[in-house]
Amino acid sequence: MDSRLGPNQARESPTESASSRDTSPTADGIVVKKRENERNENDCFEQSVVRRIFTGEKVTLRSIAEERVDVIAEKMQILPDEYFDELKNGLRVVLEGNGGSQQREEFLGLQKLVQNRSDLVPKTLVRAHRVQLEVLVAMKMGIQAFLHPNVCLSQTSLIEIFTYKRCRNIACQSQLPVDECTCEVCTNKSGFCNICMCVICTKFDFEVNTCRWIGCDLCSHWTHTDCAIRDGLICMGNSARVATGQAEMLFRCRACNRTSELLGWVKDVFQHCAPSWNRTALLTELDIVGRIFRGSEDVKGRKLFWKCEELIEKMKSGLAETTACRAILMFFQELETDPSRNGGIGEGGRLLAPQEACKQIAEVVQEAIRKMEMVADEKLRMLKKARLTLETCDRELEDKAREAAELKLERQRRKQQIDELESIVKLKQAEADMFQLKADETRREAEMLQKIALAKSEKSEEDYRNRYLKLKLSEAEAEKQYLFQKMKVQESSRALHANDGNDSSQMFSNALKNVYNVSSGADCQTSERNSGRKN
């Protein structure tokens, strides 16, 4: 039976269950990349420009869950980083569920919206904003770790996790199905990873170096011990490792339906991991082993069950964990090597013949050698996988370096564009100031011309009045002359009354003509002046 023995093994602890409350990415081997704590001047300048021009509509969790990807991505392009942090913190609060049933119902509603959408495919998700994609993955998987500020997965990895092409365990990140496994569990359960997930509940957690996970020797699938006990996958059965086929506690894997013995697996776990356990962990492991072998009917299993119960009682009474650890390890050694207590006892407690006991000891040794070979093969496979993982990390690092270079170039290009826009704005402002100055000068000139025109108009009016008065005065003089001539004619007519009548009439007519000519000339001059005034 394979055991979850070390932090660097490929098949060790999953990091988090889809419904787990523990979402901190603290497992060994987790792919964590820290964000920059300080931004350079270009970043600060660009952020200030974005914050200054942002007047758009805010984005909410519901809008991300139900609106089109490209629409939300376009809105999020102009949002500041502080708003993204608030958005992810809000979703983390909802995922924690500390607000009771209302928050739980809110999350289930968001998750249902995301799961029922048919447009969330790689072709559309590739155009999503980074934070938008993280929120969608966290909603669908129900895992807070994707929102953690120290976890930075590539956009490709997030899309593969969302579409169940990659393990959602951020400490595993294996391509699915793992090793192209074609078993019923791997093919029928979307997003199932046989490296870190339980075959029964499909959950994962941070438990390593423990008996809480049972691994199949043949298909390398893992199962929670509690799930195996609850579903009756741990029970008595005939063992194939000894010729007699005596009954012992076996684990039946649901993926391949084959059995593995549990006593040797428990011994290996305790020998490799028990020295590093604290008091609480040791009590927990002893309790788990006791529950595994509670229904055991073979002698070794019953003795192991009694030993676990004994050590638990002693530790509760004050026995040191180091002493209890030595006692259980010594018990395993005695159980494996003492023929009078083990090899010489057959089924039902009968004594075995020396030859049969030696035969069983030889079989035990062969089984140990076989297990060692299996462990070596497993270590070699894990080494190969570690190398592949290292190569993958190197490729991702190169991709990140290229993305950083592209982002730097894009930042410089945007800064150049902003500088050009600012220069254009300054030029337009200078032109506007110049036009404003010219407008002010033109307005002052117009006011001055208006004043000059008004002054000339007043002067022309004054000249017109003077000419009009002179004209009237001339007319009055003409009329005076006319009346004076008329009076002279009348007087001369009286004086010449005695003269010839014809000569008198002729003289009177000539005098009237002279007076008439003078009056007509004055009238014509007045008309011409009036006409010139009108023009």
* pLDDT beyond 90 at 357: no
- Nearest 10 degrees: CA dihedral of 277, 280, 284, 286? 60
- How far is Cα 199 from Cα 336, in angstroms, rounded to an integer? 31
Mean pLDDT along residues 200-215: 84
User: Which whole number is the average pLDDT over 122-140?
Assistant: 88
Q: Is the pLDDT of residue 349 over 70?
A: no
Identify the residue whose tokens are 């009694």: 306
| Domain coordinates in residue numbering, the chain | 55-163
Closest CA to 72 of 114, 41, 29, 9: 114
Mean pLDDT in residue range 234-238: 84
pLDDT tier at 394 (50, 70, 90 boundaries)? confident
**Taking the C-alpha atoms of 173, 177, 181 and 185 in order, what is their torsion angle to the nearest 10 degrees?**
110
Lowest mean pLDDT among 19-33, 96-110, 128-142: 19-33
Helix (H, G, I), strand (E, B) or coil at 342: helix
- The DSSP line for 84-99 is HHHHHHHHHHHHHTTT
- The two tokens of residue 404 are 């950083």
Sign of CA dihedral 400, 405, 411, 414: negative
Of 78-82, 84-88, 271-275, 526-530, where does mean pLDDT reach its minimum? 526-530
Q: How confident is the model at residue 76 (pLDDT cuts 50, 70, 90)?
A: confident
Q: What is the pLDDT of residue 155?
A: 87
Q: Out of 150-159, 329-338, 424-433, 475-484, which region has the weakest mean confidence (pLDDT)? A: 329-338
Query: Distance between CA 479 and CA 169 in Å, rounded?
Result: 126
What's residue 176's pLDDT? 86
